Amino acid sequence: MADKRDYYEVLGVNKNASEEEIKKSYRKLAKKYHPDLNPGDKDSEVKFKEVNEAYDVLSDKNKKARYDQFGHAGTDPSYGGGSGGYYSGNPFGEDFDLGDIFGSFFGGFGGGRSRRSTASRRGSDIEVNVNISFLEAAKGCTKKIKYDCIDTCFKCHGSGAREGTSPKQCHVCRGTGQVVISQRTPFGVMQTAKTCDACSGTGKVIEHPCGYCGGNGRVRTNKEIEVNIPAGIDSKQILNVSHKGNAGKNGAESGDLHLYINITPHSVFERKDFDIWCELPITFSQAALGADVVVPTIDGKVEYHIHEGTQNGDIFKLKNKGIPKLHGRGSGDQYVKVHIEVPKNLTNSQRSALENFEKSLTEKNYQKRKSFFDRLKNLFE
């Protein structure tokens, strides 16, 4: 365990990072190393677990405080060993405030106020992939999301007790969730605390468990919710839905639902940031003479005038016809690339007319062609 990486280093943030910065970095890295996006990649699997472990500590104010003060020894049950009178969990008892321990060393157990064991625990987050179309991403939409989760038991409403009954105060710890242990050391008798085994730190005992959840207070179920997808969202972005993840334990808040957005390609449009690109085929006559053409956009068809002498590959812009920017900050533009289609399968009369037309043209009509051959002439002279 000596080579366990610093949690701040794992998430790529500094110790003064805000909660939002920590969460943002976690989401980015969790998506990068997610097993569903890296099937069979053992290295990504290890990094994904490492990232989740780091976030579990740094996103919890109490765990973060212990980690900042004592490092991995303050949060990792693998540190400290089990032979020196310590218990499983952190070195001084699972979810116990280390500050209380040191307070008891120098002022007696009564000198520090013991903190309730964190038997109430926030629910874990859930990740779901959501496929939407190009136009749904551009215009925004409402989607029904179906997923499996752990939800609060509807029979006992999370108490774990059978309907008509309620949990009783634990007679061992008297509702505190912790028991005091005295240890004789070279410095005298020291008192520490550990999670109460009788109630698992909840401070309560269920005498008559709920028959539906077995006293757990939570059950696995299928859930369906409606989510508003904002206009302008891009592929690979993550949409967070607060408190729609797994239910918390013993009344704690639920985790979040992370929606990983995947956008299916469009047959006509291509997205580049908030701009849209498309190709418009026109005829030789339209390019030579100029013409009014119809151009498709995400808002419908618009008319555009092709100027006389338009060349193959020319690009024109339709301002503000691109993707709406998130949070209503305007829209991108649409860029249209002209493709001049050369006619095929000519009839004899069409061929003859085209040959006569070609004979009527002079160098003035082909400026690029004239310039090209002039350069060749200068090259060989």
The amino acid sitting at 72 is H
From first to last of the 381 residues of the chain, give the pLDDT tens digit.
446 888 999 999 998 889 888 988 988 898 888 877 777 788 888 888 888 888 888 988 888 888 887 787 767 655 443 333 333 333 333 333 444 434 334 333 333 333 444 457 899 999 999 999 999 999 999 999 999 999 999 999 988 999 889 999 998 898 888 888 877 766 667 778 888 888 888 888 988 999 998 888 999 999 999 999 999 999 999 999 999 999 998 788 999 999 999 999 999 999 999 999 999 999 999 999 999 999 999 999 999 999 999 999 999 999 999 999 987 789 999 999 999 999 999 999 999 999 999 899 887 887 777 677 677 777 666
Separation between Cα atoms, residue 80 and residue 90, nearest integer Å: 8
CA distances from 368 to 105, 157, 277 (A): 91, 79, 27
What b-and-e string marks burial along 61-78, b requiring 16 or more CB atoms within 10 Å of the CB?
eebbebbeebebbbbbee
Q: What is the pTM of this model?
A: 0.59
Angle between helices 19-33 and 42-58 in degrees, nearest 10: 160
User: Tokens in use for 239?
Assistant: 């949409």
Contact 137, 261 (CB under 8 A): yes
